Amino acid sequence: MPVISAPYAFNEEDLYVDLRSIFGHSLFLKCEGFNFAGSIKLKAATEMVEDAERDGILTPESILVESSSGNLGVALSVIAASKGYRFLCVTDSRVNLSNRMMMEALGSRVHVIAEQEAVGGFLGARLDYVRALCASDDRYVWLSQYTNPSNWKAHYRRTAPEIACQFPRLDVLFVGAGTTGTLMGCARYFRRWHRRVRIIAVDSVGSVSFGGSPGRRMIPGLGTSVRPPLLDESYVDEVIRVEEAETLRACHRLARRGFLFGGSTGTVISGATDWMARHDARELTAVAIGPDLGERYLNTIYQTDWVRDLYGEDVLDSDKEAADSWADVPSPPSPAPP
């Protein structure tokens, strides 16, 4: 029975979902959302904060500041609240309302960037704001998840060994690419492992992480509008780019089977199942890393009006199937007037 005194001390490390019955492929999803921050970002946040403390960069007078689309901001809010730090999250208008509310409930402040830069998008505008903030007051400490090696080291030390322990015959690993901390940590670990593991990076269409033109991205988490400084493509065997409509379909397909996952997880699963459908994967041991759960996406990717307004009426066949399954059931009677 785990007994903890700090919220960042707990993280479920060994939970996997076998997706064969849902997607028809033997794919194991490593579920990283079962902790008090609700995502894999708790690992990187803990590593970066503790390293900054050891190096004397972070002191009781410091004010943590970070640019985040949501999940890392929540993770740092959990840690800051536990350790007694002040924390300011710089995000943008795509942030999920639930993430913003959670950060504020934990005592953090949230600054929302409304306008994106012509080159660099929302991320570029967020980074400029953080730099100006740090220049204005030396109490601000920017951990910089985009350049901080502690980001990838957290996954080299924890996430990858966890997978290796459970799957000693691993053949293929699918990892979503945002800051690329998870990707680089796992790729570096398995490059030195006892057997060859194919590393497949999963990115969002419209992201410039691996080159290409920037495009509209409404689901926060994976993808960037600025090339990630942590990324070393020599460790990556292949890149899959996923349309956001496919992310939505994967998430809703899982929800119809009782699994409510977040947008980043839906993107990774969509990319992984597409890759497996195009390859002879019957004899392969394949794992995908699921970064987040779905509760914080209830007002976006699981909200019918939001989905239809952005992606069109016919993007989700699963919603039509669900409606059809209730077609022969009469509506409940209206309540009697008082």
**Span 17-71, pLDDT tens digits:** 999 999 988 999 999 999 999 999 999 999 999 999 999 999 999 999 999 988 9
What is the model's pLDDT at position 260? 97
Cβ count within 10 A of residue 252: 21
Per-residue confidence in pLDDT tens, the chain, 338 aa: 789 999 999 999 999 999 999 998 899 999 999 999 999 999 999 999 999 999 999 999 999 999 998 899 999 999 999 999 999 999 988 788 899 999 999 999 999 988 766 566 778 888 899 999 999 999 999 999 999 999 999 999 999 999 999 999 999 999 999 999 999 999 999 999 989 999 999 999 999 999 888 888 888 878 888 899 999 999 999 999 999 999 999 999 999 999 999 999 999 999 999 999 999 888 899 999 999 999 999 999 999 999 999 998 888 865 555 555 666 777 787 777 77
Cβ count within 10 A of residue 266: 31
What is the model's pLDDT at position 161? 98
CA dist 6 → 11, 55, 77, 84, 325 (Å): 11, 21, 13, 12, 45
Q: Would you give the distance in Å from CA 68 to the centre of its chain?
A: 11
What is the model's pLDDT at position 117? 66
- Summarised one tens digit per residue, pLDDT across range 170-184 is 999 999 999 999 999
What is the model's pLDDT at position 8? 95
What is the model's pLDDT at position 123? 80
What is this structure's pTM?
A: 0.92
What is the model's pLDDT at position 119? 63
Q: What is the dihedral of CA 297, 301, 303, 306, to 10 degrees?
A: 120
